[in-house]
Amino acid sequence: MPSQKVLEQKQQIVSDLAERIQSSVAGVIVDYKGINVEDDTKLRKELRESGVKYTVIKNTLIKRAAEKAGLNGIDDVLNGTSAIATSAEDYVAAARILQKFADTHENFKVKTGYLDNEVISLEKIQSLAKLPSREVLLANVLGAFQAPIASFARAVQAIVDKSGEANAEEAAPAEAPAEA
């Protein structure tokens, strides 16, 4: 039987994880079996740079935290080795990074995920992983907004250039006879 101190520590871990799940917009649970230290370090660095919290944690603690957070439907994947990645702001960062990593590492697998406290299928996670980053999407939107303005500016410049050429042609013949 675990001591009271150990129980309190586990309850605190469950509470912290439940709060983290509730405050996140998206999360992914993975099976990290077979990953070496070097690859794990690179993965954690990339996740950290994208604002994703990644934690290796026992399945029973994940299960209890998910129940406490009101996230139902992940019990069936909580076996073997598990880690959870949560993102407080970016809906696709965790899915994109972890799915890309899983594609290049045979034993590393995405188990399940959630968006806005609702469990999603692996197909949806893979679809999210294919989306470009937030910065790329914003750049595309800005490019779409700027395209009409840029076209208008090029048209105005073409008119100015054309009228400038016409003025230069009119001025050139008048000067030519004066020199002769």
| In the predicted structure, residue 86 carries a pLDDT above the cut 90 | yes
How far is residue 119's CA from residue 26's CA, in Å, rounded to a whole number? Answer: 10
| Between residues 170 and 89, the one the model is more confident about | 89
Domain borders along the chain are 4-131, 132-180
Let me know the angle formed at the C-alpha of 78 by 74 and 84, rounded to the nearest 5 degrees: 80
| Between residues 53 and 154, the one the model is more confident about | 53
| In the predicted structure, residue 164 carries a pLDDT above the cut 80 | no
| In the predicted structure, residue 105 carries a pLDDT above the cut 70 | yes
Query: Could you tell me if residue 52 is left (phi over 0), alpha (psi between -120 and 50 degrees) or otherwise beta?
Result: beta
What would the pLDDT profile of 15-36 be if each residue is shown by its tens digit? 999 999 999 999 999 999 888 8
Average pLDDT of the segment spanning 63-82: 89
CA atoms within 13 A on the CB side of 71: 31
Rounded to two decimals, the pTM is: 0.70
**Cα 61 → chain centroid:** 26
**Cα 157 → chain centroid:** 40
The CATH superfamily label for domain 4-131 reads Ribosomal protein L10, N-terminal RNA-binding domain (3.30.70.1730)
